[in-house]
Structure 1
Amino acid sequence: MDPEIVAEIMAQLPFYEAWHIQRFTQPAMFYHYVLTLDDEVSQIWPQPAWKMGKILFLGTRYTGIVYMACILIFTWPNTYEISVPVCDALCVVMNVTGMLTRTFPEAAVWLCLYALLGGKPKYFYLLVTAFLGLTVPAIVLNGMNVLGQRAIPRTALDHALGYPCNFIAFPRPDLSATSFYIVFSRASLALVVGLSTLLTRYRKQKHNLIRIIRREGGIYCVSTLILMFLSGLAFTPGIPVSPPCTFLW
């Protein structure tokens, strides 16, 4: 075999390994969606159409479905012939829904914080200002990087392995790194506000809702902090990452 082809295969191997792992997460997520569809229909659909909790739940759920479907198309060796413009369009859809499906859950956490603070207008304006102030810049910076990615014709290796699309590298990973650190700050702020509120207002309350908020909110914030910190390191120029990393989130 041509040594250049061998070198290309070895250089791309970590990415194909990551895709191989990722291929099994999407069916698991779809299986979860199917199992919980009955709960969604019975508990979420009857709620008022423009209720914020319903919007955030459905937004998280269905942007996640579209996002996972796009990833599955790209990472599953299906041998389909997809044109470069279609790959470009699917990439845009994947990146936009990916940013949304990571933003909606944290918006739901901040909505819970607002409820824990008593639902007063002054807290509403403070939380909205803080959330948007840390969300809009993060989305814009990350979007400037990921939406700049373009599809290119498939290589001989892509043809051999059956992958339908090929893309250039992200043009501005430094912008995504900054975005991840902003999201890290946002999750840190939510965790601090949530813990201080629970400790000062709800320390002696043990009912199920408070326990659920503590458990689910804590798990979300801690996992977000870990993922954003690692992603920021991976995208920061000048920080060696060996082998090249692809975070599955």
Structure 2
Amino acid sequence: MALTETELAAKITGLNDSRTADNLQLAMWTALFYYYITTYDEEVSRIWPQPFKKVGKILFLITRYSQIPQLFIWLSWFLPSRGPWSLKGCIVLFELGTALEVLSIGCAEVSFWICLYALLEGKRKYFAIIVLVWLGFFIPIQTIQWMGFATYIAIEPGPFDRAYGYSCRYANTPGAQAAKYELVTLYMALARTILFMIASVVVIFVRYRRRNSLLTVIRREGGMYYICSSLVLFFACVIRTPGFPVENPYISRTVIKVLRNLAQYIFAERLLLQMQKTVYKTTRAQTAMSTLVFDDDNVPKTEKTVDHELSGLSGRTVHS
């Protein structure tokens, strides 16, 4: 049946929006992989020599290299690839891509939580509190988020979409509340980000009054991460609030998602790289950070280093 002029215009508008969103995603991947290429030498020299049991190496490699399968899934998922995907295959791609994104974002966030734990000197009571708080946000957010994802189904692309080579198309089941699920998770993520940012500021500026290179890195990278994440999440919540006037919500949400992912991935990896670069065992915080996240075999812990540690902790010079 031939499309009316109005239906044809709507189809073209929807396709243009989809292609614009795809271009934004492609721009994100381009920027991300450009960053990976330009920091590859640092990765090889600073991250690869670390033992695999070290938390810093695990978080860094998962955050970075989980992006590669995500890219290939996205290329098969959204771009006009003309791939021979069945409806079941499209759903599998959707679920796998979503799981990888949750994994990479989770590792990026954990990098900053680990910093807070190390700054609290790696004590077990603080570990228990941090884990409980993190799980208290992570489990509900992921549960509600997956409830929203479960409302998506794969549909056969229409002739208009197939003409452009799209193999996978998705839609919500009738009566689905995916938008409400997404809004709830965004507000919870915003609350978690603000809460942790406040906790980090209190720990850094109240517990550690003396400046050193490691704390400078945590303040700079961590501060930029939380400022960017908080602003992006805030605008994401505002845009998705029912009744808020926005000219093109689909494109706006894509822009927000792209900016959020870039902030999370890049600042988390920069934090880990800069931490490894500046780990010198001169304060108790740095010793805990070194032991927990990275090894620093290139800087022997000499008697002079021990004396400097005690000097940094007591605020007075210790003479040997």
Asked if TM exceeds 0.5, the reply is: yes
Q: Deviations over 1:158-194 (max 9, x none)?
A: 2233233111148422112111111111111111011
Contact 1:117 / 1:123 at 8 angstroms: preserved in 2? Answer: yes
Contact 1:20 / 1:75 at 8 angstroms: preserved in 2? Answer: no
Could you say which residue in structure 2 is the equivalent of 1:244? 249
Task: Name the CA shift for 1:88/1:5 in 2 (closer, same or farther; >3 Å).
Answer: same
Q: Deviations over 1:197-235 (max 9, x none)?
A: 121123331x32212111111111112112222333344
Could you say which residue in structure 1 is the equivalent of 2:182? 176
Q: Tell me whether 1:87 sits opposite 2:90 in the alignment.
A: yes
Higher CA-based Rg? 2
CA distance in 2 between counterparts of 1:168 and 1:108 reads 34
CA distance in 2 between counterparts of 1:46 and 1:147 reads 41
Contact 2:29 / 2:71 at 8 angstroms: preserved in 1? Answer: yes
Could you say which residue in structure 2 is the equivalent of 1:224? 229
Answer with 151-160 or 214-223: which moved more: 151-160
Q: TM-score, normalised by structure 1?
A: 0.88
Q: How many residues align?
A: 248
- Cα distance, 1:238 vs structure 2: 4.3
- Cα distance, 1:12 vs structure 2: 4.4
Q: Which of 143, 148, 153 does residue 140 from structure 1 map onto?
A: 143
Q: Tell me whether 1:31 sits opposite 2:45 in the alignment.
A: no
State the secondary structure of the residue aligned to 2:249. Answer: coil
CA distance in 2 between counterparts of 1:160 and 1:180 reads 36
Q: Tell me whether 1:106 sits opposite 2:117 in the alignment.
A: no
- Cα distance, 1:236 vs structure 2: 4.0
State the secondary structure of the residue aligned to 1:167. Answer: strand
Contact 2:151 / 2:172 at 8 angstroms: preserved in 1? Answer: no
Larger RCO of the pair (alpha carbons < 8 Å, separation 6+): 2
Q: Deviations over 1:4-28 (max 9, x none)?
A: 1222222443332122222222133
User: Which consecutive residues of structure 1, in runs of 5 or more, have no partner in the other structure?
Assistant: none
Task: Name the CA shift for 1:241/1:70 in 2 (closer, same or farther; >3 Å).
Answer: farther
1:1-249 → structure 2 map (5 Å cutoff): 2-3=4-5, 4-169=7-172, 171=176, 172-205=178-211, 207-245=212-250, 246-247=253-254, 248=258, 249=261
Contact 2:87 / 2:156 at 8 angstroms: preserved in 1? Answer: yes
- Cα distance, 1:237 vs structure 2: 4.1
- Cα distance, 1:77 vs structure 2: 2.8
CA distance in 1 between counterparts of 2:230 and 2:15 reads 28
Task: Name the CA shift for 1:20/1:157 in 2 (closer, same or farther; >3 Å).
Answer: farther
State the secondary structure of the residue aligned to 1:99. Answer: helix
CA distance in 2 between counterparts of 1:45 and 1:140 reads 34
CA distance in 2 between counterparts of 1:23 and 1:125 reads 40
- Cα distance, 1:48 vs structure 2: 2.6
User: Which consecutive residues of structure 2, in runs of 5 or more, have no partner in the other structure?
Assistant: 262-320
Answer with 92-101 or 165-174: which moved more: 165-174
